[in-house]
Chain A
Amino acid sequence: MGVVSRTFYHFGRWLLLMKQGIHRPEQWNMYARETVRQMYDIGIGSLLIVGLISIFMGAVAGIQFAYQLDDQLVPRWYIGYIVRDLAILESAPTITCLVLAGKVGSNMAAELGGMRQKEHIDAMEIMGVNTPGYLIMPKLVAAVIVIPLLVSVSAFVAMAGGYVATVPTGEVTGPEYTRGLLAFYAPYNVFIMYVKSVVFAFLLTAVSTYQGFFVRTGSIELGKASTRAVVISNILILLADYLIAVIMTA
Chain B
Amino acid sequence: MSFGDVPVLKGITARFERGRTNLIIGRSGAGKTVLLKILVGLLHPVEGKVWYEETPFSELAGRDLRNIRMQVGMLFQGSALFDSMTVEENVRFPLDMFTGMSRGEKADQVNHCLERVNLAGSNKKFPSELSGGMQKRVGIARAIVLNPRYLFCDEPNSGLDPKTAFVIDELIQQITRENDMTTVINTHDMNSVMEIGENIILLYNGALAWQGSREQVMHSDNDILQDFIFASPFLQRLRQAALDKGSR
User: Which residue of the partner chain, among B67, B83, B94, contacts A127 with CB atoms under 8 Å?
Assistant: B94
Least Cβ–Cβ distance between A121 and chain B, in angstroms: 9
Q: Which residues of B contact A119 (CB under 8 A)?
A: 76-78, 80
Indicate whether A122 sits within 8 Å of B97 (C-beta atoms), given known contacts A127-B69, A128-B66. no
Q: Please, how many angstroms separate the alpha-carbon atoms of A128 and B94 in the complex?
A: 9
B234 within 8 A of A: no
Indicate whether A26 sits within 8 Å of B74 (C-beta atoms), given known contacts A122-B42, A125-B42, A126-B69. no
Most buried by B among A26, A120, A128: A128
Least Cβ–Cβ distance between B105 and chain A, in angstroms: 15
Count of interface residues, chain A, beta-carbon cutoff 8 Å? 14
CB-based contact B98/A122 at 8 Å: no
> How many pairs of residues, A versus B, come closer than 8 Å at their CB atoms?
49
CB-based contact A126/B41 at 8 Å: yes
Q: Which residues of A contact B67 (CB under 8 A)?
A: 128
Q: Which residues of B contact A120 (CB under 8 A)?
A: 80, 82
Which residues of chain A in 101-152 are interfacial with respect to chain B, using CB atoms and an 8 Å cutoff?
Answer: 118-120, 122-123, 125-130
A30 within 8 A of B: yes
Most buried by A among B65, B94, B97: B97
Q: Which residues of A contact B70 (CB under 8 A)?
A: 127-128
CB-based contact A118/B78 at 8 Å: yes
Indicate whether A126 sits within 8 Å of B98 (C-beta atoms), given known contacts A118-B80, A120-B80. no
Q: Which residues of B contact A126 (CB under 8 A)?
A: 40-42, 69, 72, 74, 152
Count of interface residues, chain B, beta-carbon cutoff 8 Å? 23
Closest chain A residue to B42, Cβ basis: A122
Least Cβ–Cβ distance between B80 and chain A, in angstroms: 4
Q: Please, how many angstroms separate the alpha-carbon atoms of A129 and B41 in the complex?
A: 13
Least Cβ–Cβ distance between A135 and chain B, in angstroms: 11
Q: Please, how many angstroms separate the alpha-carbon atoms of A126 and B40 in the complex?
A: 7
Q: Which residues of A contact B41 (CB under 8 A)?
A: 125-126
Chain B residues close to A by CB (< 8 Å): 40-42, 65-67, 69-70, 72, 74, 76-78, 80, 82-83, 93-94, 96-98, 146, 152
Given contacts A120-B80, A127-B98, 15 further A-B contacts (CB under 8 A): A118-B78, A118-B80, A119-B76, A123-B74, A125-B41, A125-B69, A126-B74, A126-B152, A127-B72, A127-B93, A127-B94, A127-B97, A128-B66, A128-B67, A128-B70
Listed A/B pairs (21) with beta-carbon separation below 8 Å: A27-B97, A30-B96, A30-B97, A118-B78, A118-B80, A118-B83, A119-B77, A119-B78, A120-B80, A120-B82, A122-B76, A123-B74, A123-B76, A126-B42, A126-B69, A126-B72, A126-B74, A127-B69, A128-B69, A128-B72, A128-B98
